[in-house]
Amino acid sequence: GVGEEAARALGALAEAGHAVVRREDCECGAAPPAPCLVHRAGEKLSSAGSDAVVKCVHVEGGGSGVPRGCVALGEAARYNLRLAADQVATLAVFSAPPRHEFGLVDATVEVSRAAAHTHDRAEGGDGGFAAGDVQVDVGELAKSLHRRLFDRVLAVGELMLCEAGDAAAGPPTLLRVRVAEVNTLGEDEREEEPCYHCFRGRFQEATALRMIEKPGGGSGLRL
């Protein structure tokens, strides 16, 4: 099962897009009432037909907020894995191709301002954008995303949330980042491969990151 309430209790782990499971459930021969869900930490795929890959993290049971027999996922991870709250699904080990074949040469992400309800709904917000566009420091955002994405498997269409400081030294702005394109081959190599298609790969230190604003405007953001 997938527990949304437990994911909220885990805070940063869930917000980072991880799947979180109690260590007792990950050991071979786990005792009832929980079956053996995952044998070790690592990258996982879901059975729901998504290309996204999530990292499974073990936590100690006491006070973790994760019930026995459940995997805790935050909102972004559930969206990326195409899972509804409390949906039953299988998480399988992801076996990545060799790094030299799977490493990303470049990745393009679409950046927009996240709807205010993500932070303000509990405070009575209406779910819209705050008045006026926000300008974000592109250099600082790029550094932040490089740190966050390093060694992660990115899939086209994947969503994540991150915070960025306002260029005018205002409060942090919550951003919605969507993976728009990934490439394991350079532009010249792609031209020589007429059947080339790439939908996911591993973000490396040398991966070039391109950021674009959400097409059509209305993103509430200026890069």
* Closest to 109 measured CA to CA, from 161, 40, 32: 161
pLDDT of residue 5: 55
Encode pLDDT of 65-78 as tens digits.
Answer: 777 777 777 778 88
If you write DSSP's letter for every residue of 21-37 in order, what string do you get?
Answer: EEGGGGSTTPPTTS---
Encode pLDDT of 90-141 as tens digits.
Answer: 777 888 888 888 999 999 999 988 875 444 433 344 444 445 567 778 888 9
pLDDT of residue 219: 56
DSSP state of 122: G
Q: Does the reported pTM lie above 0.85?
A: no
- What are the structural domains of the chain? 4-93 (2.40.40), 99-222 (3.10.330.10)
Contact 108, 88 (CB under 8 A): no
